Structure 1
């Protein structure tokens, strides 16, 4: 499982990181039938719409502060066991409120899970509040305002996820201005289910330091050069992209082409159990498919740490851990 290579992840939706066994445990707790979205120990879906249904069904199984503490602790412990030293998780107050939990309790629960995992394994984690694009600009601005209020010290960034085919990027610019004025790190999903123009719009109107996915930029090499020149970091999620048929195979994935063109690339797992992947598997598969050495793989971790929305003293601590484990 490539445990000897230290790993760091910048792009993981915490509600999308629920392992099936934890979902079953929560379903029993809340007496909820989830048999229609489970096939043995795998989530069952066949297209993006059914994926979202399964995702929302599982997210609704987390209704109390302790539920979220357990979720964060379980996920972070699992990736720490395979060599992860740092993680950033996307958190969605909209999901918590849909399940009846106020944002303050939601964030507090996740923070407690992060604290436990760090005490158990040493892994460090920060949270990025996201707005949901297909819920509209007003909703995203509310999420940005919440993030800008700094409800917890572990919240260090703001982003936007959801269906990137909804609306125009410029309609959401005010939300990102709110977050930027609060000195939060800025990231935005683009160039996953939509093409290079989605990435260009994000670069033009949002001016992010990072882009979630961004891989469809490969369709416009002038855009790739611009991303490289501006040192905008790409949070690539290879396993997710293959599972959602963004590319037909990992061999066809533009990860190496983007790297060779000068783009700063990192490796993340997105919604790992839904895509039958993990951070460790994505590292392994990238290394074996493209023939990267351990040193090169550690370089992708270094990219992630440099791009992390975390204070410099923590970055220095993490960078000091990048020597190979024996």
Structure 2
């Protein structure tokens, strides 16, 4: 516990607070300088939103806003043209996260997006896993596990193919597949149709981590809980809109990967004060803060902890959020236990 007297205000450096990062997309993890360099190297032109107008905000309450966001993301992904680009993304993500106190990173990738440049989805995943294992041995880097993610925008049979691929490389520790997800616009596709893919991942012992409760509300979360039985929800913040749904999230022990910066940038909430982080924590939900897509939104993991501080979370409560992120992760036991001890040391400063 903190030695600070009652009423004292301390603001320890959140970059040195040990934590896990559970919601970070592969392309979206890039430094903006990296995507600019890749575009130049491949003779590609980037939108102004990744140039002088970066970062931008979006209005996703109608589909035009989401289309703008997705178009920008696709433009960045189009710059990733081969193995060296992919390895660079993994390495920089691990080093950047490590610099912000992350001891464990679960990096989410859809192998189909990069397969044409390296000969298929299997080589794509193997490249990502190999670099994850390699960079995890570097001093100062976060250790990296990988989440294979299917897209709601594609057929559910493709999701089953990806689940089988993920299962083949399932394991523990850096350089292994540790989870299976479902991403993209949750207004697309029928959640129930992806249940067979998640059953494959479940049998392989993978963490089940679909997106839900970002663009859609409690009904979508209920469908996801019922049909996919997830361990975590990507976002899930809109469970706050229905006490019954939130109670179910808490009772089922489903962790929420809350990404305040992206929620604000996408117009899910108007500003920091509207993000229901305090309400979710007070209701007993397990919350792991995430950055989602720093390339697009311009904020990394440490800044999400600073948002919590703006919402009047004390240092002791920030430490609790960090512990929750580790508990909800698939980090190896040794990584978690070391991080817990270092969190205590952070508070004792």
* TM-score in terms of structure 1 length: 0.93
2:24 is aligned to: 12
Secondary structure of residue in 1 paired with 2:114: helix
In the alignment, which of 54, 69, 84 is matched to residue 102 of structure 2? 84
In the alignment, which of 114, 123, 128 is matched to residue 147 of structure 2? 128
CA distance in 2, matches of 1:55, 1:271: 9
- Structure 1 position 104, deviation (Å): 3.1
1:74 is aligned to: 92
- Structure 1 position 43, deviation (Å): 4.9
- Structure 1 position 180, deviation (Å): 0.4
- Structure 1 position 316, deviation (Å): 2.7
Q: Which moved more, 1:316-325 or 1:56-65?
A: 316-325
Q: Which moved more, 1:177-186 or 1:94-103?
A: 94-103
In the alignment, which of 197, 203, 211 is matched to residue 175 of structure 1? 197
Correspondence list, 1:211-230, <5 A: 211-230=233-252
CA distance in 2, matches of 1:67, 1:297: 35
CA distance in 1, matches of 2:252, 2:342: 27
Secondary structure of residue in 1 paired with 2:209: strand
Which runs of 5 or more residues in structure 1 are unaligned? none
1:44/1:263 CA distance change after superposition, 3 Å? closer
In the alignment, which of 173, 197, 208 is matched to residue 186 of structure 1? 208
* TM-score in terms of structure 2 length: 0.87
- Structure 1 position 140, deviation (Å): 1.3
CA distance in 1, matches of 2:250, 2:72: 36
- Structure 1 position 40, deviation (Å): 2.1
Does residue 310 of structure 1 match 2:331? Answer: yes
CA distance in 2, matches of 1:23, 1:323: 38
CA distance in 2, matches of 1:319, 1:125: 18
Correspondence list, 1:183-262, <5 A: 183-262=205-284
1:138 is aligned to: 157
In the alignment, which of 94, 99, 103 is matched to residue 112 of structure 2? 94
- Structure 1 position 110, deviation (Å): 2.4
1:192/1:35 CA distance change after superposition, 3 Å? closer
1:240/1:87 CA distance change after superposition, 3 Å? same
CA distance in 1, matches of 2:141, 2:194: 37
Once the two structures are superposed, residues 243-280 of structure 1 have per-residue CA deviations (whole angstroms, 9 ceiling, x without a partner) of 10111111111111111111111100000121121101
- Structure 1 position 45, deviation (Å): 6.9
CA distance in 2, matches of 1:16, 1:105: 21
Does residue 29 of structure 1 match 2:47? Answer: no
CA distance in 2, matches of 1:76, 1:239: 20
Once the two structures are superposed, residues 86-137 of structure 1 have per-residue CA deviations (whole angstroms, 9 ceiling, x without a partner) of 2111011121125555223322332344322541314211100000012121
Secondary structure of residue in 1 paired with 2:20: strand
- Structure 1 position 168, deviation (Å): 2.1
- Structure 1 position 292, deviation (Å): 1.1
